[in-house]
Amino acid sequence: MRIGEAYEGERPVFSFEFFPPKTDKGAENLMRSAADLKAAVQPDFISVTYGAGGTTRDRSFEVVTRIHKELGIRTMAHQTCVAATRNQIASNITRLFQAGILNILALRGDPPGDDDAFEPPEKGYSHASDLILWLRDRKSGG
């Protein structure tokens, strides 16, 4: 289900954003919290940030797909341009689509660590708009 569908009604739209946990225990705590929020608030969607530094990328995928599949809550995965080639991003997006995640928040992302300036990786995207164009082209079958 697309997030835009949540805005078609008259009632307010509620969402939550989670950061991917670093441990298995943190992942279980997050899932319990998401289940509690579902019962109490019935959020229209939950977004999960992207571990751009590489440490929590797999956790991001795990959390967003578990929330989608186990809790039946509409989800949105973040995807940044930081520290990833176009092929790596394409692979990640393919995994998300195959898992039923249809909502992607495309971001350039912050420079890693203490860097002041964003340097796109070789064979990567320089701007979120480049990633968005690729996503649109992919959606249209290009």
Q: Which residue has the tokens 């480049």?
A: 130
Is 5 noted as a catalytic residue in this protein?
no
Of 5, 17, 70, 119, the active-site residue reads 17
Q: What is the DSSP string of 66-87?
A: HHHHHH---EEEEEE-TT--HH
Give the residue among 50, 111, 114 at the shortest CA–CA distance from 76: 50
Q: Which residue has the tokens 């940044």?
A: 80
The residues annotated with a catalytic role in the active site are 17
